[in-house]
Structure 1
Amino acid sequence: MWEALIEKDQDWFLYLNQLGTPSWDSFWLFLSDKWGALPLYALLLFLVSRQLGWKRVLLFLVFIGLLITTTDQLSGFFKYGVQRLRPCYDPGLEGLVRLVKSSCGGRFGYFSAHAANAFGLAAFFTVFWGKSRRLWGVLLILWALLVGYSRIYLGVHYPLDIATGFLAGGLLGWLFAQLYKKADQNIFK
């Protein structure tokens, strides 16, 4: 059963990866680049600081930092624990992967830290804002989904790597948002 899932995952990867065209490469590279998201992060920080004030923003940023650290470390733990080769290193896919970047990253890719971080942030903000800024939650989830797809497009992750990253990031984003709310209530009564 596991082998059938891996084979299907490779098929999905090849299909999605081959949809790429050189005219879209720079867009997906930008979307996948951590520095490309800085304007979004600055806007989110601005919105949160207007809502909370600067004293409470510091606590907020501590929880965001803990969330990203946790998703990154958990991803690394799984990458070296599972040791599933990235598509660009898989000998069975040699010559079939459309690798857009000049490098592929580390040898192992299960699960995607990009997907976990993006979806973790989207989940955190969605829970934090709740119904008051529902549109922002939808936009952030859409952004996270696009970041995840960019990793397949670029040839560095399988769809299962992305889906697992989304799951881990979503769960951790929800958890850290709940923890933040409790800490905020206890500190700033």
Structure 2
Amino acid sequence: MIESLQQFDAELFLKIHRGFSNPFFDWLLPLMRNRYFWAPLYLFIVVFCFIEYRKKGWYIVGMLLVTFAIGDLMASRLIKPLAGRIRPCNDISLATDIIHRVPCGSGYSFPSAHATNHFAIAVFLIFLFYDKWKPILPIALLWAFIISFSQVYVGVHYPVDTMAGAILGTLIGLTTSKIYKKLQPQL
């Protein structure tokens, strides 16, 4: 069963990694997974929260940081070492099939911390702002999906890694948004 899943995952990985290969994606998708590319968005969210919500903005930003920290700790420090799955770009059985679009890294693959963190943040923001701004739902989910898809395209994660990260991140975002709503100050 597990071997069949790994075979399916490797085949799907190659269909995305090699099958969607084109010069535009080769330029765009490495940017989409780069944290510095998204720095202006992160800064906008922080400034928006402080300007729009004043004192309450500190709580929102604090919970965003907690959401990110929980996602990163669970994916990178807890689950990855336990799972011990090699990244596709480091898998010797795929060595002739990998297109090196970004440095591979030496860490483990399952689950994707990028997917976990971005889905956690996206879901937290959706639950926080959906009542006031409905477009946040498709925009935030598309943002997290593009970052997750980019991880597969550049060759550092298998599709199951990003799907597991998306599920884990969604659960974390749901949990932290519920905690925030219970603990939020009445300002």
- TM-score, structure 2 as length reference: 0.93
For residues 174 and 105 of structure 2, the distance between their equivalents in structure 1, rounded to whole angstroms, comes to: 28
Matched, 1:150 2:150: yes
Mean Cα displacement is larger for which, 58-67 or 162-171? 58-67
Contact 2:122 2:173 (8 Å CA) reproduced: yes
Matched, 1:15 2:7: no
For residues 57 and 131 of structure 2, the distance between their equivalents in structure 1, rounded to whole angstroms, comes to: 20
Deviations 1:12-71 (A, max 9, x none): 000000112234322111110011111212222333334322x11111111111111111
Q: Percent identity?
A: 26
Unmatched runs of 5 consecutive residues or more in structure 1: none
Letter of the 2:186 counterpart: F
Unmatched runs of 5 consecutive residues or more in structure 2: none
Mean Cα displacement is larger for which, 62-71 or 36-45? 36-45
Q: How does 1:1-189 map to 2 (within 5 A)?
A: 1-18=1-18, 19-53=20-54, 55-76=55-76, 77-101=78-102, 103-184=103-184, 187-188=185-186
For residues 110 and 146 of structure 2, the distance between their equivalents in structure 1, rounded to whole angstroms, comes to: 18
Count of residues in Structure 1 that have an aligned counterpart in Structure 2: 185
For residues 107 and 180 of structure 1, the distance between their equivalents in structure 2, rounded to whole angstroms, comes to: 32
- TM-score, structure 1 as length reference: 0.92
For residues 107 and 48 of structure 2, the distance between their equivalents in structure 1, rounded to whole angstroms, comes to: 38
Deviations 1:61-86 (A, max 9, x none): 11111111111111121111110100
Contact 2:49 2:58 (8 Å CA) reproduced: no
Runs ≥4 residues deviating over 6 A:
none
Letter of the 1:51 counterpart: E
Contact 2:109 2:156 (8 Å CA) reproduced: yes
For residues 63 and 145 of structure 1, the distance between their equivalents in structure 2, rounded to whole angstroms, comes to: 22
CA RMSD of aligned residues (A): 1.4
Which has the larger share of helix? 1
